[in-house]
Structure 1
Amino acid sequence: MNEGTVVGWDGSLEAEQALEWAVRRAEQNDDAILLVDVEDDEKPIPGRVVTPEMVARRHEAADERAARVSDEHPGLRVNTHIMAGDRVEELRRFSRPDNLVVVGTGQRSGPRARYHWSLGARLAATARGAVAVVPALPEEGRTSVVVGVDGSEVSLKAARFAAREARRLGHELVVVHSWLDPLVSVSGAVSEGPLLGELEEEHKAMLDSVVGSLRSANPDLTVTPRLVRDQVYYALAGPVHSASLLVLGTQQHRGVDRFLLGSVSHAMILHIEVPTVVVTPGCLV
């Protein structure tokens, strides 16, 4: 079976929320779900040894949960895969350019630095396809999908992904592009006037080009552009308050930096409010 949705599941509340979100999406896409649970043998717990019995118990719990989902959603195909290993590495193995890996995350009530190495951020930094991080199910009444674009190829992939999700939900697509004043001085003064006007027109032209392409490919979709003169995080934070989904593209690095998520995607996940999909360069959209 070629499951298009992989859910990182461990029986926790966060995993259950991710599963429910994934089930709704999979049903609308006529998709199949694979529940992946990992007995994490990388946890730094002195004296802890992962045994076959521990893995077997996880297998029983996952199979039981999959059976309940199938009973509650007739026609939805749900399989399970259980193993021992490093949770992030094992979930990453299931990431493909044509699928979506879905994980849950807890509410952000404590110091935000503790989420620097969150499961979702670590997966998205090196995944081959798209990764969805679900903090909770969207509240009723949210009627838009928000995507951030900067003209890069991966942001255009994110825009196409977001358009597909907006069509699925019957929501408006809000396309956000932000820009800032250049750090350039002329005769000791910060550039302003005509130069800033020209720069704004350039950014507007890029945004209009992206929006025009999206409208052409999705004639029945309402696409709203937002050009914001501010930092990217703040430009996205406003529209997200009424959104059901946020979609971002991220560049992936090489070497040691390959484990680090792009700064904008990372910031949004640290302050996550709604389900957020991170689209990687290898994603097929």
Structure 2
Amino acid sequence: MSEKYLIGVDASNHSRAALAWGLERARHRGASVELIHIADDSFLSESVAFLSEAQVASEQMLANEIDYATNTLGFTGNITGTAVVGHPIAEIELASKHADLLVLGAHSGSKFAGSIFGTRAVKIAAVAHCPVAVIPAEQTEAGTGIVVGVDGSESSKLALAFAAEEASLRSQPLIAVYAWMPPLTPGLEYLWSEELVTAQQAAAEEAIAIAVAGLASRYPDLEVQREIVQAPPVTALLQVAAKADMLVVGSRGRGGISRLLLGSVSHGVLSQLPCTTVVTRAE
């Protein structure tokens, strides 16, 4: 059974960057595509007339984006669309239950901040039932390597599995990043002993070796690079991913209202988005 990609659209440059990325991936993977446009009803009148008008506008927007996907971008695969009026986060969470990958555009510092493709991308990544790919609006020349953060947790193991398969399929190196910091108060680095640093470095090397063990047998041609960075996790990942093609991070599954707490690392990298970033979930 082929994969299904759900792509959020709104005709902005940001969502069209995500649309182009998602369609290209679907073309290579033989995946079907569903475009979704949501007219946010948060500020709409609750009258039947206003909601009906919003639905018509949403459907027209969706039709335009399907036309753009097929006639401008030349996508010839299976493509459908859904246009709804409602709360973007709730509607996309529901739709993500039936998708293998959710693709969103993202940007910051613009008049669109807070839209479905702006800061809400962080909240959507927290509640989605499938991996979420967040695509920068403006990408410079393509980088190299699939970067993944590892720390031994179940969520990072899932992220590593996704990243390894991605790197293998793309014939790119897998770059596993382990970040560590000595347990000392910032500003007291002069108190670090050589023994402490050596022990921490050895523990980091052991942890990353355990994390990537077994990949060689499953992906014999995969190049695995290990990066041990003495820095906070977000800083380390942003540093290594600056010249990468993709960054993959894991997010713990949560229940109830706490699902909106994505996690400091995932939130941190999505807020700065060094490259295309995928958030995997451990339900």
TM-score normalised to structure 2 length: 0.86
Alpha-carbon distance between aligned partners in 1 of 2:93 and 2:115, rounded to the nearest angstrom: 21
Alpha-carbon distance between aligned partners in 1 of 2:50 and 2:153, rounded to the nearest angstrom: 44
Structure 1 segments unaligned to the other structure (5+ residues): none
Q: Specify whether residues 267 and 45 from structure 1 end up closer, same or farther in structure 2 by C-alpha distance, changes over 3 A only.
A: farther
Give how far 1:48 is off: 11
Counterpart position of 2:261: 260
Alpha-carbon distance between aligned partners in 2 of 1:2 and 1:36, rounded to the nearest angstrom: 19
Counterpart position of 1:227: 228
The question of 1:57 aligning with 2:64 is answered no
Tell me, what secondary structure is at the counterpart of 2:247?
A: strand
Alpha-carbon distance between aligned partners in 1 of 2:192 and 2:41, rounded to the nearest angstrom: 56
Counterpart position of 1:126: 127
TM-score normalised to structure 1 length: 0.86
Alpha-carbon distance between aligned partners in 1 of 2:5 and 2:114, rounded to the nearest angstrom: 29
Cα RMSD over matched residues? 3.0
| Equivalent residue letter for 1:61 | M
Give how far 1:267 is off: 0.9
Where do residues 27-66 of structure 1 align in structure 2 (5 Å cutoff)? Answer: 27-43=27-43, 50-66=50-66
Tell me, what secondary structure is at the counterpart of 1:204?
A: helix
Counterpart position of 1:202: 203
* Identity score, percent: 28
Residues 246-273 of structure 1 deviation map (CA, whole Å, 9 limit, x = unaligned): 1100123344432121001111111113
Alpha-carbon distance between aligned partners in 2 of 1:48 and 1:191, rounded to the nearest angstrom: 67
Q: Specify whether residues 268 and 74 from structure 1 end up closer, same or farther in structure 2 by C-alpha distance, changes over 3 A only.
A: closer
| Equivalent residue letter for 2:127 | T
Counterpart position of 2:172: 171
| Equivalent residue letter for 1:236 | L
Q: Specify whether residues 82 and 74 from structure 1 end up closer, same or farther in structure 2 by C-alpha distance, changes over 3 A only.
A: closer
Where do residues 1-285 of structure 1 align in structure 2 (5 Å cutoff)? Answer: 4-43=4-43, 50-71=50-71, 72-73=73-74, 75-96=76-97, 99-108=100-109, 118-136=119-137, 138-183=139-184, 192-282=193-283
More off after superposition, 264-273 vs 2-11? 2-11
Q: Specify whether residues 191 and 68 from structure 1 end up closer, same or farther in structure 2 by C-alpha distance, changes over 3 A only.
A: closer
Alpha-carbon distance between aligned partners in 2 of 1:128 and 1:50, rounded to the nearest angstrom: 31
Give how far 1:49 is off: 7.1
Alpha-carbon distance between aligned partners in 1 of 2:221 and 2:16, rounded to the nearest angstrom: 33
Q: Specify whether residues 27 and 137 from structure 1 end up closer, same or farther in structure 2 by C-alpha distance, changes over 3 A only.
A: farther
